[in-house]
Structure 1
Amino acid sequence: MDYALPCGELDTLFAGPQSVTPEQRRDLVDEIVAALRRRHGERLLAVALYGSTARDGDGPYSDVELWAVLDDEAYGEDYDESLEWVHGRGKAEVNLMSRSAIEAYAREVDEAWPISHGQFVHARALWIAPDHGALVESLRSLAAHPDDAAVDRAMAELVVGELYELVGKLRNRHGRQPLALLAGRFAEHLACLVGLAERHVYVSAGSLFDEAVDLGGPDGAAELFAQVVRGDFRDEAATVAALERAWAGLERWADAIGLEPALLRRCQAGER
């Protein structure tokens, strides 16, 4: 479907993101909301802004990110469409979902939950239809209070499906895989694991490690997060030791938070 919104050309695309003032970015947001209301009318239930612009933390080159909720009868209860385009000086994205689809997504818990669900927990409502005043807060609450069993499954998947595998790559590396890349991936998955344990949704991917440092977690986790933030991997032996320490700390930590039953199920072949 077409929307009468600002768009770019190939020359603006390959020029890369250009500086946009906060006022210009907010004017664009207003244009998008108005276009959504014109296009969908009474089928539109809510529009919210997320990301750095919603937090008034946007920089000159920040994207504009929104989600919008449509009545199930508009395009069906499974409706889920993403509009992403270069609007001339930057990029905009609007995620359009039916009410049923967005509620299901807000409830969903996977390994990336501490990052992905910030779009609900840290959202700013822009427009809400009459008689749907609680919709944005309802989605925020669904996202912020995940099912405990689903959290345990996601955490077990992170330990076995990601961290265990990365430790194998670390021990089998022989200088082939860049250690900085491996350490960054391990730290990101570990931060998501700690976020899940604490039911903490990070403010942004950019602040992930700074926030994770304050959440506790396994022995060695905070030190690894701090090292990744510094970006100092010159001492390979020290980096390997930091990764092995964080991995070794997982066993006691998993026992302390009651994760062992979920991990045991994940260690068995069969349905989980």
Structure 2
Amino acid sequence: MDSGGRSEPFDERPPRADGSGHRVPEGQAPEEYGDHRGRGDHDEHDHRSRWPLVAAAGAAGLYGGAAVSILGTETGLVPPLLGVGLAAAGTIVLLAGVAGWVDQAFLAPARDERGPRTSRASYVSTTLLFLTTDVSTFGALFIYYFVVRIGAWPPAELPPLLGSLVIVNTGILVASSVTFHYAHRALERENQRRFLGLLGTTLALGLVFLAGQAYEYYEFVAHDGFTLTSGLFGTAFFGLTGLHGLHVALGIGGIAVLCWRAIRGHYGPDRDTSITTVSLYWHFVDAVWLFLVVVLYVGASV
């Protein structure tokens, strides 16, 4: 921070090899610092992440392919294999986008300790754009569910949905958002021990939530005979909860990378872009689950 109280430009590289964590003062040779300021606008352009958009395009292909496959199976209007092929291609693009995003935003700074500065604003803005596309994806499935509700209700295959398991699972996911928030706060206050503890707790809670959702699926399939093919409601239920579970799994992967880097000491009050972007994603996943519980679990039970 300079004498006027302004924060230095963001830099999410690990501390220098000498352990000082200080940036090279203004005026020192850019070549020694790995600074590419001379590249001007081109340098800023290089730091704009396009991987979230690639991941969003892949997700659209995956979800669209699943919809086409179901439509073809139920109506015969299109070949179901067309949807399967589209979903497979979308899955490949989605995984490539996620892998590229993780590598560029999280792993590359860990490998290149003297590389150029990264732009916090560009990563946050592309993450928000990715989440905006996700709202549309979830919205399409919710609209499908609302259309199902307009027809004959309740469906004969409706199992008991609202029980202790979903209530406990909801509390676990909400708690994980709280621990993530306060982990970030601890980092901003330079309390590394508290930061590591809360971040690890967030990861553990996410894993417990995912295990709880898997157990819920087991109960529905094995004991109630309720599956994806159990009519229109079964398609809506497993489509929405499965999509959310996929998002949770991706979020857990991101948090695991954060934990790995945090243990290596890569984060600080002015080196937190990865923490910010993953926390935005995780809070979004939490909010979607709360809406899903109200609309799907509670709504289907009344």
TM-score if structure 1 supplies the norm length?
0.29
Quick one: higher RCO (CA 8 Å, sep 6+), 1 or 2? 2
TM-score if structure 2 supplies the norm length?
0.26
Higher helix share: 2
Higher strand share: 1
